[in-house]
Amino acid sequence: MAIPTKEELGFDPDALREKYRIERDKRLRTDANEQYQEIKEEYAAFLDDPYIAHPTSRSPLTDEVEVAIIGGGFGGLIAGARLRELGFEDIRIIEKGGDFGGTWYWNRYPGAACDTEAYIYLPLLEELDYVPSQKYAHAPEILSHSQNIAKKYNLYENACLETEVTALNWDEPASRWIIQTNRDDNFKARFVIMSNGPLHRPKLPGIEGINSFRGHTFHTSRWDYGYTGGDSNGRLNGLKNKRVAIIGTGATAVQCTPHVGESAKQLYVFQRTPSSIDVRANRKTDPHWASQLKPGWQKERMENFNILCSGGVVEEDLVKDGWTEIIRNLISMANYRGENTNWDEVPKLMEIADFQKMEQIRNRAAELVNDSKTAESLKPYYRQFCKRPCFHDSYLQTFNRPSVELVDTNGKGVERITNNGVLAGGKEYEVDCIIFATGFEVGTSYVRRSGYDVTGRHGMTLSEKWADGMRTLHGVMTNGFPNLFIISNSQAGFTTNFPHAMDETSRHIGYMLKQCEKERLSSIEASKEAEDEWVDEIIAVSRFASDFQESCTPGYYNNEGKPNPKSVQNGPYGKGSRPYFRITAAWRKEGNMSGILKSP
């Protein structure tokens, strides 16, 4: 397929490339990911759990369990469920929240919903005989489903909720992990699965003066309904006489801004970089369709979605959403699955398809936003996957309200917080409340995000071992840390649909635990040779090493505009999730746990 001319396209690709470069450059910062303030010490109040009315009290635990799972989000729930199915009974899940749910325990802001189709995103639907009420389920339904998983698989029994792990130490003579917590627990576990979650530790922008503000502040992952009134559906009657600032315009802000804009006396939305906002088209589940689903429907649908999002071809797109449309457009333009493909032209054609899609998104902003200046500020000028795409049907229209103002900081961000409000572009905006819609930490060290360090053999800590980047086998085990397993995207298979990868990893871990049982092994760990080989493979095939990431506007996908060898090494398996799943499945089929050191 020939590359279209600018006359055929209706825009000039060279001019767009230059525009993208200018927009990227104005947002580049020397501090990159370090621009964010770690929430601790004077900022620790931002981590308080507002959803626990009365904290529970219990005596410290000094017992022993066979399997300890750290994290009660989707990863921990899926791992617990799959281990139960394999016959493991002695399981303890440790979760810092007051209940299961992970991200969906913390994210209760108005409008919170999944942005991947609920029929594939909510795990274990067939096992619970449940079909979500909408194509994109809202937070309360997802939290309820999480709790139902825990109930079905008896994961509440022996769980430690409202509990944070503070240290994890390997006891060599006993071949056990010693787990310490902020509840003075000091118990043992034969196996530990770390499912800390990729999105659980909130981050704050490193803006001067946060604690000097005299009004009210909170982070979206700790939404203060006591102040705003209302609930997750909106109706925030407590804001009717309030001037509110929202700092951030990512996925969270996109979902909550319409509700705050509808309720507040005045809303200022402070934007550094606009998100791409495509059509969402949420709708209720068709009862007839749900009644016709056949056994195996969720797995089939998940795999269908993953094939498309990985650039594969299927006879029918079962999900038909914004994600699969993006990929279909790229493949159609590039024709790289067709005959006589000119591989030298494929990247150029895919760039053109990307330009066309982003032009469509920019035109949508112009069509839906009345004020031309505001509409222009809301147009994203970067490649589609430089940032996580957003989908919403009322965010853009919110800026048509006379009480809502977009404060475009021209890529610079907020200058500082004053006693009375927010300073941006040399102007002070006086407000009564500041809401930080700044997301969760991504790209910081694993130990910082998890909140504890791990000490393995010979006193080696995980923070020391991974100081120059992660080192694992399959992203799941690391040499020197026996009987320790990781559920993460890093050095493993990344999918847009996170729970799909979590399920694959849980099955992989379950296989190894059963092999330990079968072979009567006291411990297993990755060999150094196998680990080195896998790390070399991760670096060799990494997509994050490409010029694409370098050209992107700053964001968490490219370490805030400063990609480096460590971020490459900590990235997912670059060939994609489907090849990764095939690698781990073949490894299990081989049956001898190749690359694993075994201790009887």
pTM: 0.92
Claim to verify: residue 186 and residue 210 sit in the same structural domain: no
Lowest mean pLDDT among 133-137, 216-220, 341-345: 341-345
Claim to verify: residue 235 and residue 358 sit in the same structural domain: no
Q: Is the pLDDT of residue 244 over 70?
A: yes
The verdict on residue 47 lying in a domain is: no
The verdict on residue 2 lying in a domain is: yes
Q: Which of 180, 179, 70, 172 is nearest to 459 (CA)?
A: 172
Beta strands in 231-289 (DSSP E): 243-247, 266-271, 277-278
Q: Is the pLDDT of residue 545 over 90?
A: no
- Work out the mean pLDDT of the chain and round it to a whole number: 90
Structure tokens at 62: 């000094």
Rounded Cα distance, 257 and 246, in Å: 8
195 vs 558, which has greater pLDDT? 195
User: Which pLDDT score is estimated for 10?
Assistant: 83
Cβ-contact 482, 546 below 8 angstroms: no
Residue 555 confidence class, pLDDT cut points 50, 70, 90: low
Claim to verify: residue 231 and residue 194 sit in the same structural domain: no
Q: Is residue 426 exposed (0-12), middle (13-18) or buried (19+ Cβ within 10 Å)?
A: exposed
The verdict on residue 345 lying in a domain is: yes
Q: Which of 415, 87, 433 is nearest to 243 (CA)?
A: 433
Q: Is residue 393 exposed (0-12), middle (13-18) or buried (19+ Cβ within 10 Å)?
A: middle
From 367, 402, 428, the end of a domain falls on 367
Claim to verify: residue 72 and residue 191 sit in the same structural domain: yes
Claim to verify: residue 208 and residue 189 sit in the same structural domain: no
Average pLDDT over residues 461-476: 95
Average pLDDT over residues 184-202: 85
pLDDT in tens, 357-409: 999 999 999 999 999 999 999 999 999 888 889 999 999 999 999 999 999 99
The verdict on residue 379 lying in a domain is: no
Claim to verify: residue 192 and residue 206 sit in the same structural domain: no
pLDDT in tens, 8-43: 788 898 999 999 999 999 988 765 555 556 666 666
From 334, 367, 400, the end of a domain falls on 367
From 436, 458, 493, the end of a domain falls on 436
The verdict on residue 128 lying in a domain is: yes
Claim to verify: residue 216 and residue 93 sit in the same structural domain: no
**Domain count of the fold of the chain:** 3
Structure tokens at 287: 């009862």
The strand pair at 91-94 and 64-70 is best described as: parallel
Q: Is the pLDDT of residue 261 over 90?
A: yes
For 409-546, where are the alpha helices, taking DSSP H only? 446-450, 462-465, 498-519, 528-541
* CATH number assigned to the domain comprising residue 253: 3.50.50.60
- CB contact set of 297 (below 8 Å; sequence gap of 6+): 126
pLDDT in tens, 115-154: 999 999 999 999 999 999 999 999 999 999 999 999 999 9
Q: Which domain holds residue 307?
A: 1-30+296-367
Claim to verify: residue 136 and residue 193 sit in the same structural domain: yes
Claim to verify: residue 264 and residue 326 sit in the same structural domain: no
Claim to verify: residue 518 and residue 579 sit in the same structural domain: yes
Structure tokens at 65: 């369990």
Structure tokens at 50: 């507002």
User: Which pLDDT score is estimated for 1?
Assistant: 56
Cβ-contact 383, 558 below 8 angstroms: no
> Tokens 């750290």 — which residue?
70
Residue 561 confidence class, pLDDT cut points 50, 70, 90: low
Claim to verify: residue 419 and residue 449 sit in the same structural domain: no
Q: Is the pLDDT of residue 490 over 70?
A: yes
Claim to verify: residue 400 and residue 469 sit in the same structural domain: no
- CB contact set of 262 (below 8 Å; sequence gap of 6+): 234, 236, 398, 401
